[in-house]
Amino acid sequence: MTTGTGIAPTQLELDGVRVSLRPMHAADKDAILTFARELPAQDLLFLQRDIRLEKVVTAWIEQTAEGGSISSLVAVDGDGHLRGCSALVRDRLSWSSHVADIRILVGVDSRSMGLGRLLALHCVDQALAEDVEKLTVHTTPEQEGALRMFEELGFRPEALLRDHVRDAEGQTSDIVILALSLARYSATRTAYSL
C-alpha cells in the first residue's frame, strides 16, 4: 500500500459540518491522541492496540509513512477537530496477503452523519485498487450502528470470538468478525452500474 491511499484531500459537507478527508501524516499525532482519549473505552476494544498511548500512535504513523502495510485517512473539521479516522491494514508477507482489515473510528459527536460509511467506502475502494480479495472488520456486538452499516455494505458475519478482549477494569467483551468478498462486491457494483 502507499501512503497516498489514492485520495487527494477532499472537502465535503456532512450533516451541516464541513469536513476534510485526507491521508494521515505525522503532524496528526496530538489530534489522534486527543480524539482517542475522548472516545469511550468500549469503542476501542476491537483494535489490536490501545491508540490512547503515544507510543502506539507513533508506531501507527510510522507504519503508515513507510507505505507497506497500513494506509490511513483522517477526517478533520474546519476547526481542526479530528472527527474520525480509518486504516486499511494488510500484511503482504503473511499467508493471508490477499486479505486486508478495515479499522474505523468516528467521534461520538460525529456519528449518524455518514462519516463512518464514507471512511468505509474509501477503504473498500483502496482495497480494490490494491487487488485485495477479501476485507474483514472486527467490532464488538454492542456497536450496533457499525454492525448495521457494514452489513448494508455487504459484509457478512464470519466469526464470534467470545470474551476475546478485556478492558482496563477486567470486563471481557466478544468480538464479531465480518467479511466482504471484493469479487462479489465488484460484480454487484458492475451489475448495477454503480
What CATH code is carried by the domain that includes residue 63? 3.40.630.30
pLDDT of residue 16: 86
- In contact, 175 and 142? CB cutoff 8 Å: no
pLDDT of residue 6: 58
Inside any domain, residue 113: yes
User: If pLDDT is split at 50, 70 and 90, which confidence band does 116 have?
Assistant: very high
Domain housing 25: 10-191
Inside any domain, residue 5: no
Inside any domain, residue 3: no
pLDDT of residue 66: 85
Inside any domain, residue 104: yes
| Total domains, the chain | 1
pLDDT per position as a tens digit, 80-90: 899 999 999 99
Mean pLDDT estimate for the chain:
90
User: If pLDDT is split at 50, 70 and 90, which confidence band does 60 have?
Assistant: very high
Inside any domain, residue 83: yes
Long-range contacts of 161-165 (CB under 8 A, 24+ apart): 165/45, 165/46, 165/140
